[in-house]
Structure 1
Amino acid sequence: MIKGSPAGRTARLARVAGADRPERVLIAASFVNRVGNGLFNAASALYFTLIVGLSAVQVGSALTLAGLVGLFAGIPGGHLADRRGARTVMMLALAVQAVSMSALVLVESWTALTVLATVDQIAAAVGGAAAGALVARVGTDRPALFRAKLRTFVNLGVIFGTVGSGLAVATDTRGAYVALILGNAASFALCALLLLLLPNYPVLPPPPRERRRPAFSDGAYLTFTALYGAMGLQYSAVSLLLPIWISQHTEAPRWTVAAVFAVNAAFCVLLQTRIGSRIETPQEGGRAFRNAGLLFLVSCPMMALAAYTPVWAAAGLLVAAIFVHSLGEIWESSAGFALGFGLAPDHAQGQYQGLLGLGFNAGQALAPAILTTVVLGLGTAGWLLLAGFFAALGAAGPAVARWGVRTRPQPAVAMEAAG
């Protein structure tokens, strides 16, 4: 039972969901959007192969091509958000996604899928960069706490959507799959409408004589972008590499795959705000990035060792490994918030977030090839190599943070460096 007066309970609930109205609005909009993503992402490949009748190769090539084109839309989209307003650009991108997603129910050919998926990915990249700029404007008082809460609710939204997707997959009818696609389209539209409740934040002018694309001349930020993109392989290590490893190299029951996903999602939802709210400055972000690498250094060998243990010991070891890995994921995402937002100038947040998104998405695009050939091909040695790779990336975090703080022109960050 929750004790205290009704006013006290309301205040506590408000703190959980956001400190003020703009925070609560953006959290609600992001939650709705991610519920839709969860509905669609888990069942999209099945719809296009089983219902539309395209081959797996056709679906994969269409989505890969769309993703590659979309990679390069984030930076110009972010620059547009900086100059025309993040809320406006994000709403337009969401509207485009709502239309392109709705049109997927009419797809009957590879060409149509490729065109619509490409439009969707371009809009997603533009909207993602604009969303980053909007997050920076909304979470001004306690940015780390707000971003941690935002990620908590985003993860929760994906979980709800994935559950709904599972019900539709179990039904396995065209109507069920179409409902998922249209549900995702509706989530984009509703998210855009919710953004109307946000203030229309004024555009911040750039300083005189600044380069048109300052992010490309920012050595510290470019370096962190590369490190962050490479560290992003840890997501595919859980979603792609680990299920294959469990099914082909361990004696753990098959349900262990679902169990590790559930543990990963649960711990990220439960612990993100508690840990992430303490990581606010770039220096704290650098240390958090190092801690993430050390946690992955522990979790990856634990996953590898599951191949050498009996059935139930393997299952227990994998659950323990995913707990350690989830802690690393939380530290890594918190580092991304602290450095990705903290080192970007306020007037160019969209452009900088577009650059960071480009690095991350490039790493995600390369992850399947790297993990299934190099790591899986080498077996246990591949897992150990991956662990060392993550630890080396993390070790560079504090140095990059010091470099970034030292080279920031903003007075507030310069004072932090002096301190």
Structure 2
Amino acid sequence: MTIRPQRFLALAQLANSVGDGAFYVTSALYFTRVVGLAPARVGLGLTLAWAVGSLVGVPLGRLADRRGARGTAVLLALGTAAAVGAFLLVRGFVPFVLAACAYASAQSGLAAARQALLAGLVPAGERTGLLARLQSTLNGGLAVGAALGGLALNAGTAGAYRAVLLLDAVCFVGCALILLRLPAVASVPGTATATATAVAVAGERREQRFAVLRDRPYALLALLNAVLLLRLPLLSLALPLWITERTGAPAWLASVLFVLNTGAVTLFQVRAARAVTGLATAVRVLRRSGVVMFASCAVFALSTGQSAWPAAVILVAGAVLQVVAEMQQSAGSWQLSFDLAPADRMGEYQGFFGTGVTVARTLGPLVVTSLLMGWGTPGWLLLGALMPVAACAMGPAARRAAGRAERTVTEPALAG
């Protein structure tokens, strides 16, 4: 593969991540202060939206397989821009939920379509390394966007918040234009198939629709990955609450931990991914990430009741361990998600695997706030204990999925 498609993939990632970073740090205050929604209603609406997004990720991924990954990704990027623009017009709960559902659905589908596009453009042996570089780009863009969003937070005006939403919409339009510069990836069925052949295989295609839902080993991998992704709400939700309510550390430390995380991923994700070269190394790195994440949660728990400086030192140490676990988990899960998915159903399988992110976004806030703010230290330890258990279970699940994939390939050949 030439460097040109890689560069455009990275630029597209950078464009929408800058907008996302600004949106993430300002959206809650926009919906509560400008739109006038109660915080509980905002949380309910986003939970409903990401639940819908998790359901539509698979069919939209399948659409990318059938109609072409590039075109589908472009349309979904434009759809995301339109959904963000709709947030500028909402004035009540129901319109907010509808716009949020459109946003979450377009984001979930875009993630699946981009993974299918990447799979069509990048040889299998290069995907994990490229994904690591894209993850670094993503975090760099989030950091830049968060800084821009911070300017709006400092201004605190409705116009400043609306400017952030406009920026996010423009960034997704830019993402769509960049994706158009990439080579097209052929759809799976092929548009030039003769009518007679299409009729002959129509019944078989109906039977194979959403085959990923019947691929139990792969589905188990996606479920275990969703458990590992419960770390997602820690930086944006759990730690800010924990810092202000359970420690003597200053509230601004939460932003320091965010910058530390995104900066570390930007600088070191590619290096962390070099250790992952196949299924065996992916499983080993995932097991290691589970142990490190448990250690991170245990260190965070030690900050309970500590005064400012001791709490700050402990929280920074926990955040360092957390980002190490994050980079390892990301690299290992990328390898498994691609290597164990059929080449002709990559969008569908990536869409399903990607629902782990939407599940974590949907359930994660409720889980982590209930455990951590409700139970304190025992909650940290319980959350931490889930991580090595799920990570170690990825190994047997991956071996079962690999065995099933081999049988799927060899059985038609034997039958022929």
- TM value normalised by structure 2: 0.90
Within the candidate set 88, 107, 118, 1:135 is matched to 118
Unpaired runs of at least 5, structure 2 = 191-203, 412-416
Equivalent positions of 1:10-409 (< 5 A) are: 20-140=3-123, 141-205=125-189, 211-307=208-304, 309-409=306-406
- The alignment yields a C-alpha RMSD, in angstroms, of 2.3
CA distance in 2, matches of 1:24, 1:38: 21
Query: What amino acid sits opposite 2:295 in the alignment?
Result: V
Q: 326-335 vs 232-241, which deviates more?
A: 232-241
- Classify 1:331/1:19 alpha carbon distance in 2 versus 1 (closer, same or farther; 3 Å): farther
Deviations 1:120-141 (A, max 9, x none): 2222222121111112223325
CA distance in 1, matches of 2:236, 2:40: 20
Query: What amino acid sits opposite 1:198 in the alignment?
Result: L
* Deviation, structure 1 residue 48: 2.2
CA distance in 2, matches of 1:372, 1:308: 18
CA distance in 1, matches of 2:408, 2:209: 21
Query: What amino acid sits opposite 1:43 in the alignment?
Result: T
- Classify 1:274/1:19 alpha carbon distance in 2 versus 1 (closer, same or farther; 3 Å): farther
CA distance in 2, matches of 1:255, 1:95: 35
CA distance in 1, matches of 2:188, 2:66: 8
* Deviation, structure 1 residue 282: 2.0
CA distance in 1, matches of 2:293, 2:213: 30
CA distance in 2, matches of 1:123, 1:315: 38
* Deviation, structure 1 residue 310: 4.5
1:192 counterpart SS class? helix
- Classify 1:102/1:237 alpha carbon distance in 2 versus 1 (closer, same or farther; 3 Å): closer
CA distance in 2, matches of 1:185, 1:275: 32
Query: What amino acid sits opposite 2:284 in the alignment?
Result: R
CA contact (8 A) 2:48 2:97 kept: yes
CA distance in 2, matches of 1:189, 1:349: 25
Deviations 1:326-351 (A, max 9, x none): 10000011111111111111111111
CA distance in 1, matches of 2:161, 2:298: 39
CA contact (8 A) 2:273 2:331 kept: yes
* Deviation, structure 1 residue 83: 0.9
* Deviation, structure 1 residue 316: 1.2
* Deviation, structure 1 residue 247: 1.7
Q: 391-400 vs 307-316, which deviates more?
A: 307-316
Q: Which residue of structure 2 aligns with residue 15 of structure 1?
A: none
* Deviation, structure 1 residue 412: 9.8
CA contact (8 A) 1:345 1:410 kept: no
Query: What amino acid sits opposite 1:153 in the alignment?
Result: T
* Deviation, structure 1 residue 410: 8.4
CA distance in 2, matches of 1:293, 1:45: 31
Query: What amino acid sits opposite 1:202 in the alignment?
Result: A
Query: What amino acid sits opposite 1:124 in the alignment?
Result: Q
Deviations 1:367-394 (A, max 9, x none): 1222222343221111111221111111
Deviations 1:273-313 (A, max 9, x none): 01113313122221111111010121111111112544322
- Classify 1:291/1:412 alpha carbon distance in 2 versus 1 (closer, same or farther; 3 Å): farther
Q: Which residue of structure 2 aligns with residue 14 of structure 1?
A: none
CA distance in 1, matches of 2:75, 2:212: 24
Aligned residues: 397
Query: What amino acid sits opposite 1:93 in the alignment?
Result: L
* Deviation, structure 1 residue 364: 2.5
CA contact (8 A) 2:235 2:254 kept: no
Q: 262-271 vs 326-335, which deviates more?
A: 262-271
* Deviation, structure 1 residue 210: 7.2
- Classify 1:413/1:327 alpha carbon distance in 2 versus 1 (closer, same or farther; 3 Å): farther
CA contact (8 A) 1:306 1:318 kept: yes
CA contact (8 A) 1:229 1:364 kept: no
* Deviation, structure 1 residue 209: 9.9
CA distance in 2, matches of 1:57, 1:201: 43
